[in-house]
Every structure is written in structure tokens, then in C-alpha cells.
Structure 1
């Protein structure tokens, strides 16, 4: 049995999203200056974008998206157990796939990355702004937390099925 339930982890992530939204709206430099962002960025040799030094339209939009994600995740936790299990059973793998793609892209296609074009082959593209320490750190931490949710949900589902089997065996033995 898991020490922390999947829904507790999801609730914590939702509150974390709302907190991040607040800081992206009020003081994005605080996020860019965090030790974890610096550590992950330096270890993966990713630049820290200068655009996060003061509030801007971009950081406000990021704040709105994170707040929306946090509120919708909190709202989904108020569903009945069957609906919540179905929702998060499908939502978690989709989010994991998306975050794996974003995190992998920001690392593999960075300047000097394994799959990056260099020299004459290099062309500027729209995804270049995703190759930075903030995007990588967010994607990596979300990926780790959602993988924890995925494993915990699977374990909880297995335990519920085991209890149901034991209950049916007990009912069958009493007949």
C-alpha cells in the first residue's frame, strides 16, 4: 500500500500549479532564480531565459494556464471515485507522454544536443524558445510527480481488485 494516495499527490500538484501561477504573475524572476532551475539547467547545459526577469504578457499567460490547470485538477478530484479513477487513469498517461516529449525535446534539440542541427544545417524554428532551463525543470518535475501518480493509481487499482476478489470469495463460501 502506498504511503501517500494518488489523489493527495494530485491535490499537491494542483496547489503547486496555483502557487506557480501566482509567482509567474507577480515575480517570475523568483522562479528563474530558484536553485533547482539553476541546477537542472547547468547540469543539462541549458540556458536560463532572460524574459523571466520581470512580469510580461508571456509570464501572465503562463500564469493563467497554470492556474487553469490547477483549478481544473482540483475540480476533478471532487468527482465520484469511479469517475475520478477513470479520468486520472486516462489523463495521467496522456500528460506523461506530452511531458516526456517536451522535456526530451528541450534537452535533445538544444544547442549542441544529440539531435540538434549545427553549422549550415541549423535553422531557427519556433521551438527554440522551449530549449531552456525553466521549461526543462518544469517538465522534469511534472514528469516525476505524474509518474508517481501513475504508479500509485495502478497500485491502488490492484489493491481494490484484490479486495473485491477476496470479498467475492467470502460471499461464495458463505453460500
Structure 2
């Protein structure tokens, strides 16, 4: 087990950072819209846009990976996601937020595809379950930690969006 952890810790760290950012962003946006007394239809549209982006990302991400390779696709999408996150702080117009949220979902799906294909290629058949359980632990831990940041920093200021963008920048390090 320790050998598996050592072999895949960079990918686990990248997943952790990406999901800390995702967990924080999803909760931040919902709380921010609730604090601004935005109609629930807009809140639902914003959350649905993320999932629409995930669906689009499955198609576009596959083509992007085939065209430029795993590393470039991952780096490109992490950069685009970070820029889209910062765009939420620059623009305070809900239709633009919906587009930005869709871009975040699209980019994250490509990142998921790259990480999971790397894990799948590098793990032999006998260890694949253990390897992917480590990935799932990192993923769920990231979602929890992202939401816990809001407990420690309950103000819904722009610094939280910067922290999300920082997480997406750090997921590039490994």
C-alpha cells in the first residue's frame, strides 16, 4: 500500500487540490447567491450549467487529449478553469456567471479524464482497485476540505475566489 501511495501521490495531490477548489467554488456560489437574495431559478441554472459543462467536457476533452496529449490538455484546462473562476470576481452579471460555470465544468471534466486515464494506464490490474480507492479518498477529502474553508472563513469576499483559483494553479504542480 505504501508503494502505491508513493507511486501515485502526485496525482492524488492534483486531485485533492482540484476538488478543494471545486468544493469551495460550488458552495461559495450557492451561498453568495443566497446572500444576494437571487431567485432560486438562477441558482439552479448556475448549478445546472456546471453539469452541462461536464457533459460537454466529455466530448471536447476526448478530442483535446487526442489532439495535444494528456499533459497539455490538463495544463490548458486547469488554466482555463482558474481564469473562469477569477471571472466570477470580475463580472457580477448572472448570465455571464452561467457561462463561466459551464466553462469550469467543461475544463474540470477534461482534468478528470486525464487523471483517471493516467491512473488507469499506470496501475496494473491487480492494484487498480487500491489505486482508484486512493483517488476517491483524495477526491472526497478535497470536497470536504473545500467546504470547511467556508467554516474558517465565512465572509463571502473575493479572496475565496482567489483561493479557488490558487487551488487550480496548485493542481498543476505535480
* TM-score (structure 2 length as normaliser): 0.30
Choose between structure 1 and 2: higher helix proportion.
Answer: 2
> Which of these two proteins has the greater Rg computed from alpha carbons?
1
Higher RCO, 1 or 2 (CA under 8 Å, sep at least 6)? 2
* TM-score (structure 1 length as normaliser): 0.30
